[in-house]
């Protein structure tokens, strides 16, 4: 019998059922450790993006990690992207964004000074990390907010299908969330996301850190909203709703309805 790892079907030849079975078998194999592509919330989170993209008839898309440090997460994203490109023929572009100087100055209790300090997690050498990246991946050395114009250009061509927010601080996450203020064509109709440091410590709460940045984003934004997906059985997993996307407005149709649930 074929393992989830060795069946390949071009995205154009996939049926809705075939794609569901492929994704469910993949997620099962990840959870049973039959496939190791690194942290589950990246491996399965990206698969939600791949599945959504194929449902929407989008075959070239982007995934991004905000906060790269030594590059472990970014390299995992590259492995996951390579896996799905090989299995389905979609094109995935991977971006990592980091200032390379470590955490910026903390601005108060909302940045969790009891957990973090300025300069922590300095990216050791961008050139060494860049040399390890495959051709479909790009490391942007910049403050997350300053990388937005370049990301918008990239997402106009290959919409965002997954985002990891791992910049630790409230203030940095607030800046990284500007990635959700681009025109609707820069996204899939719903963008899976992970927030790494929102609920793992006793001192994490909705009033500090990444969770506070998400809450405030939702208070201000009308047509873009982010919420956790606890029923998806995946820690740190969220979805960013793009309510002004043509498919969400009824102005365009996806290949199959977006009846996309747990995998």
Which residues contact ligand SAM by CB under 6 A?
65, 67-70, 72-73, 98-99, 102-104, 121, 123, 143-144, 166-169, 172, 175
- Phi/psi of residue 32, nearest 5 degrees: -90, 5
Strand 190-195, strand 91-98: pairing: unpaired
Which of 49/71 has CB closer to ligand SAM?
A: 71
Q: Which is nearer to ligand SAM, 27 or 68 (CB)?
A: 68
Reduced to 3 states (helix: H, G, I; strand: E, B; else coil), residue 33 is coil
Q: Retrieve residue 36's tokens.
A: 């190791």
Is 207 within 8 Å of 170 (Cβ atoms)?
Answer: no
Q: Compare residues 102 and 246 and give the one whose CB is closer to ligand SAM.
A: 102
Query: Measured from the CB of residue 70, what is the shortest distance to ligand SAM in angstroms?
Result: 6
Report H helices in the chain: 16-31, 40-56, 72-88, 126-132, 148-157, 170-176, 209-220, 246-249
| Closer residue to ligand SAM in complex, CB, 107/262 | 107
Give CA–CA dist 7/142, Å, rounded: 39
Q: Which residue lies nearer to ligand SAM by CB, 5 or 143?
A: 143
- Report, in Å, the least distance between residue 219 CB and ligand SAM: 21
The least distance separating ligand SAM from the CB of residue 232, rounded to whole angstroms, comes to 20
Query: From the CB of 69, what's the least distance to ligand SAM, in Å?
Result: 4
**Nearest-approach distance from CB 159 to ligand SAM, in angstroms:** 22
Alpha helices in 63-197 (DSSP H): 72-88, 126-132, 148-157, 170-176
Give the nearest residue (CB) to ligand SAM.
Answer: 73
């Amino acid at each position: 019998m074929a393992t989830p790892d060795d069946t390949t079907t071009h995205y154009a030849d996939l049926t809705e059922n075939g794609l569901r079975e492929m994704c469910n078998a993949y997620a099962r194999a990840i959870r049973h450790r039959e496939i190791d592509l690194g942290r589950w919330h990246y491996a399965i989170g990206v698969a939600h993006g791949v599945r959504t993209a194929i449902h929407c008839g989008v075959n070239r898309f982007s995934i991004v990690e905000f906060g790269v440090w030594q590059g472990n997460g970014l390299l995992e994203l590259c492995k996951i992207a390579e896996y799905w490109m090989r299995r389905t023929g979609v094109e995935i572009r991977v971006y990592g964004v980091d200032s390379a100087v470590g955490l910026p100055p903390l601005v108060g209790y909302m940045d969790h000074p009891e957990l973090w300090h300025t300069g922590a997690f300095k990216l050791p050498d961008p050139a060494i990390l860049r040399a390890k990246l495959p051709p479909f991946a790009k490391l942007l050395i910049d403050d997350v907010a300053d990388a937005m114009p370049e990301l918008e250009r990239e997402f106009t061509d290959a919409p965002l299908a997954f985002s990891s927010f791992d910049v630790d601080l409230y203030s940095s996450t607030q800046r990284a969330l500007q990635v959700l203020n681009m025109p609707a064509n820069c996204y899939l109709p719903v963008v899976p996301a992970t927030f790494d440091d929102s609920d793992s410590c006793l001192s994490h709460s909705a009033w500090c850190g990444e969770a506070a940045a998400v809450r405030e984003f939702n208070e201000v934004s009308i047509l873009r909203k982010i919420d956790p997906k606890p029923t998806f059985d995946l820690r740190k997993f969220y979805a960013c709703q793009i309510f002004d996307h043509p498919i969400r407005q009824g102005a365009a149709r996806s290949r199959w309805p977006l009846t996309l649930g747990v995998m």
